[in-house]
């Protein structure tokens, strides 16, 4: 099995980078092994539960035998997406603070504070961006050069905006130019790009709101009214189960709409 895990990890060269970006410790082989076992245990549990319902049916055994490998494959690739999800979440968290943290860094540098102490200030005052700068400070305290410490964090950060800031700081260190001046230009550019994203999000809200009004308000209202009228004409009764199913569908649409809005919202702080 160890050779299988090593082979699967080798077939996914992106996995190590995504694990670093998502803050997942361990080697890719270990992660693949853990994912494989998690998918196996979950598939076994689902099969045991399904056996109690399907074992007495005519084709229960065939259904279980055919669905077991399919469920395992789905679970395996689902768990493999965990590094991508964590990396995307880390990117959103960093982007939500990047402008404020960058401006704080510029103010510190323009006030005469050293670059190292400015990094420590950002690490103390910001949660997500501060965690990235804290890695740089820890590496510097451990004897690593500042440019090497910045390069190490720059390589694995999931945020392109934060990478641009670190690139600017690193280039200024290597060329001996003023760090605050170049950094201020980069932050202003990032701020303008964030403003454009907010405007794009505002334009997306119009069709989404129209979709919500039609699917979650107009259609259910007219549908229930027509259902009541039709039931009265046919002298039929509307069971409570029907109303519960309709309420469940409406709740699902509401949840889906909120999820779409949340996923489309840019994770930035102007």
Report residue 106's pLDDT band, with 50, 70 and 90 as the boundaries: very high
pLDDT at position 117: 93
Can you give the length of the chain in residues?
270
What tens digit of pLDDT does each residue of 34-54 get? 999 999 999 888 888 877 776
pLDDT score of 270 more than 60: no
Give 233 or 172, the one with higher predicted confidence: 172
Question: pLDDT per residue over 54-82, tens digit each?
Answer: 666 666 667 777 788 888 999 999 899 89
Greatest mean pLDDT among 141-145, 174-178, 258-262 lies in: 141-145
Using CA atoms, how far apart are residues 138 and 146, in angstroms rounded to an integer? Answer: 10
pLDDT value, residue 100: 92
Q: What is the residue-averaged pLDDT of the chain?
A: 84
Residue 104's pLDDT is what? Answer: 93
Position 175 scores a pLDDT of 87
Spatial CB neighbours of 97, under 8 Å, sequence gap ≥ 6: 126, 127, 128, 129, 130, 269
pLDDT at residue 245 above 90? Answer: no
Taking the whole predicted model, whether its pTM rises above 0.95 is answered as no
pLDDT range class, residue 119, cuts 50, 70, 90: very high
176 Cβ contact partners less than 8 Å away, ≥ 6 residues apart: none
């Amino acid at each position: 099995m160890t050779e299988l895990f090593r082979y699967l990890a080798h077939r996914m060269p992106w996995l190590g980078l995504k694990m670093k970006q998502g803050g997942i410790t361990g080697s890719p082989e270990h992660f693949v092994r853990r994912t494989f076992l998690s998918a196996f245990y979950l598939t076994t549990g689902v099969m045991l539960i399904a056996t109690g319902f399907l074992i007495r049916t005519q084709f229960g055994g065939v259904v279980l035998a055919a669905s077991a490998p399919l469920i395992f494959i789905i679970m395996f690739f689902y768990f493999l997406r965990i590094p991508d999800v964590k990396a995307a979440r880390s990117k959103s968290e960093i982007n939500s603070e990047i402008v404020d943290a960058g401006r704080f860094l510029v103010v510190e540098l323009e006030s005469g504070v050293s670059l190292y102490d400015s990094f420590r200030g950002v690490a103390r005052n910001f949660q997500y961006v501060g965690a990235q700068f804290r890695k740089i400070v820890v590496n510097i305290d451990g004897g690593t050069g500042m440019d090497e410490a910045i390069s190490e964090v720059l390589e694995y950060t999931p945020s392109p905006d934060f990478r641009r800031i670190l690139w600017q700081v690193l280039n200024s260190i290597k060329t001996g130019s003023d760090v605050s001046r170049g950094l201020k230009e980069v932050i202003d550019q990032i701020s303008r790009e964030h403003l454009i994203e907010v405007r794009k999000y505002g334009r997306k809200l119009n069709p989404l709101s129209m979709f919500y009004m039609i699917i979650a308000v107009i259609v259910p209202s007219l549908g229930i009214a027509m259902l009541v009228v039709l039931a009265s004409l046919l002298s039929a009764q509307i069971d409570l189960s029907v109303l519960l199913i309709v309420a469940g569908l409406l709740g699902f649409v509401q949840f889906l709409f909120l999820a779409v809005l949340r996923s489309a919202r840019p994770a930035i702080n102007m």
